[in-house]
A and B are shown apart, each in its own frame.
Chain A
Amino acid sequence: MRIDVDARRWQWLPDLREMIAYRDLFLVLAYRDLQVRYAQTVLGIVWALVQPMATLLVMTLVFGRAVGVDTDGLPYPLFAITGISAWTYFAFVMKESGGSLIASQEMVRKIYFPRLLVPMSKSAVGLTDLLVALLVMVALFFYYGIAPQERIILAALYLIGIVISALGVGIWISALTIRYRDLQHVVPFAIQIGLFITPVAYTARTVTERLPEWLQAVYFLNPMAGLIEGYRWCLIGVGDPGGWCWLSFASSLVLLLTSFIYFRSMERVVADLI
């Protein structure tokens, strides 16, 4: 192993070889978060179940009963849990990885390691919540006696897209927060708004059918719009994003790629600013 540092040389992308060499740190950081998360709580891991259940209940009451969202005749709770499982994961990763670099400032000031592993490890931490939500979903499939779509296997692709966009947003925020702490105040607010402008509790069609083409494009630039819509379509066959899903896939990839580049430039000065 040889370390070569030159002030004039600029690397645009993360050093993949180095990240692989530190892969154990990724796992250990994720494991730490899981251990710490429910430490000294009475309910422990049960909390992972309480959260999606509560959201599901509220949504069913508000959007299912009161508003009466069109779900192509499917029971609303089943419709909602598809959206909730994906959105909860996205919101968790966005929030956690967004604040992760600030949260580990003690470490960042005292030792070198590929900083990118810190926000990235949160994508693994969120998987437990996702898993629990998926179990609820399976239970609901059985409860209503409804079979999932045959294209359910494609849902995995959409999930990968969701991981990518969550990381893209999270890494951007984690790097930006170093210079502008203001973002810490924006994130919870952004997640709240995001829940309403993303088709989580309703189908995208409800919003887009009256919009001109170009505004539809703007709507699906939000990567989660096309991804959640497509994910649900694969599971229960409601709402087809059609070609728009490619726009959402593309925008999540662009987000992740640009976040890598921006993070890389912040990585150089993070220990000085944090």
Chain B
Amino acid sequence: MARRMITVQGIGKQYRLGGVRGIDPRDSLKSNIQAILRGRGKPFWAIRNIDLTVDEGEVFGVIGRNGAGKSTLLKVLSRITVPTEGRFTIEGKLSSLLEVGTGFHPDLSGRDNVYLNGTILGMRRAEVKAKFDEIVEFSGVAPFIDTPVKRYSSGQKVRLAFAVAAHLEPEVLIIDEVLAVGDMEFQRKSMGKMKDVASNGRTVIFVSHNMGAVNSLCHRCILLDQGGVEMTGPTTEVTKRYLDRGLTERVSRIDVSDHPHQRDDKAKLLYLRWVDQDHGTIDQVRVTERFGLEIVHEVRSSTIRPQPVLLLCNENGDQILSSTPGLDSTIRYEKGQHTTTVWIPADLLNVGTVYATVELVTWLPFQPHQRLDNIMSIPVLDDIGSPTFPITNQRLDGIVRPPLEWEVGR
């Protein structure tokens, strides 16, 4: 039997809403005194009654919607914060990566930052020294290693930071959506590294919104919902439950203006709506129909030009496509409210439920403002008139189902 590496028993973490209120001279003396006496806000449990065990060599996924408690669980397990109740044990050396490049100092050279970041991640100086050449080579920033990091491009910075992280040798590794940053090339590299770690028999806890990544990496998963355990089990079952349950309310127009998941308050998504050709609201679509997603967002600062970004996934979490309006249109997203509709062509998608992730991003300089994962879904139904209608009346394999041109030999 495999060695048990992580045992979590009844973990709970309580926070208090709202911060400490200071004295405000604009208020009356009485209300100031009251505010100080009342003190801290109402308590709430970010997570509660979490039990789980992870064995050696297992890759364990943590999934759940925004605000389900994933980050809190990670923070507790990586010891950044202390649980309010319960206990857990981790056997062996632990490394946690909630971001890459923690502690990087812009004024220090790449070399000094490698040492700084490495020791923060729990390596000994001698260890960093022994791996230094390898790290630099892996990062591909060797010519600039003695240049201050503030002169690096953001891509170079991330690569150097990831190179350090990739050379950690923990027995237990906790990773939070580190993969969500960086370009495709970098994401591929980091996914490869994750697989390496796992196949070396080390234990990994992986938190992600990316069902494709979870499906291909994790053996088992836990699904969190409102701070509690919704389900623990084999990955395919849990991810299916997540996609089924997470969005069973098949709403066709939703108000997301109060959604808490924001990186800054410079721009914000307001409404999302599935529409047909004539901009009428729909809640399902046929494969032969062209349809769109109407995105209403608000820009609150005149210094940025945030564009919506759309990512479509299917119910297995496979990413179908992602799309942006293109750089030319950037100029039009000035301060104010904007309505954008992105059209998905007919005869492209396969049947099944399609999930939309919508993001707001300013490209230059790159700033992600908000990202709502799998926020909308719509069932795509078959149509007997479709050029690709399956003769056997079964679902065709594949992520997309465009009609292709077949030239049959003479």
Contact = CB atoms under 8 A, between A and B. Distances in A.
B82 A24 contact: no
B120 A4 contact: no
Interface size class of A (residues with CB under 8 A): 20 to 34
Shortest Cβ-Cβ A-B pairs, 5 listed = A6-B87, A112-B79, A3-B90, A268-B82, A24-B125
A1 B89 CA distance: 11
Interface stretch (B104-112, B267-275, B282-290, B381-389): B104-112
Interface string B69-105: 0000001101111111111111111101011001101
Nearest to A28: B119
Interface of A: 1-8, 22, 24-25, 27-29, 31-32, 35-36, 39-40, 104, 106-113, 179, 268-269, 271-272
Given A35-B112, A113-B122, A3 B102 contact: no
Nearest to A4: B89
A5 B121 contact: no
Contacts, number: 97
B124 interface: yes
A5 B87 contact: yes
Contacts of B396: none
A192 to B, nearest CB: 24
A35 B92 contact: no
A112 B102 contact: no
A28 B87 contact: no
Given A3-B94, A6-B87, A35-B107, A28 B80 contact: no
Contacts of B103: 104, 106-107, 111
A35 B80 contact: no
26 contacts: A2-B89, A3-B89, A4-B87, A4-B88, A4-B89, A7-B12, A7-B84, A7-B86, A8-B87, A22-B122, A28-B119, A28-B125, A32-B108, A32-B112, A36-B108, A39-B107, A104-B103, A106-B103, A109-B80, A110-B102, A111-B102, A111-B103, A112-B80, A112-B96, A268-B81, A272-B15
A272 B116 contact: no
Given A7-B86, A28-B116, 20 more contacts: A1-B92, A2-B91, A2-B92, A5-B76, A5-B89, A6-B87, A7-B11, A7-B85, A7-B87, A22-B119, A24-B123, A28-B115, A28-B119, A31-B112, A36-B107, A39-B107, A40-B107, A111-B120, A112-B79, A271-B75
Nearest to B11: A7
B90 A2 contact: yes
A80 to B, nearest CB: 34
B102 A7 contact: no
B20 interface: yes
A134 B78 CA distance: 44
Contacts of A107: 102-103, 120
Contacts of B84: 7
Contacts of A25: 119-120
A88 to B, nearest CB: 24
A5 B115 contact: no
B78 A112 contact: yes
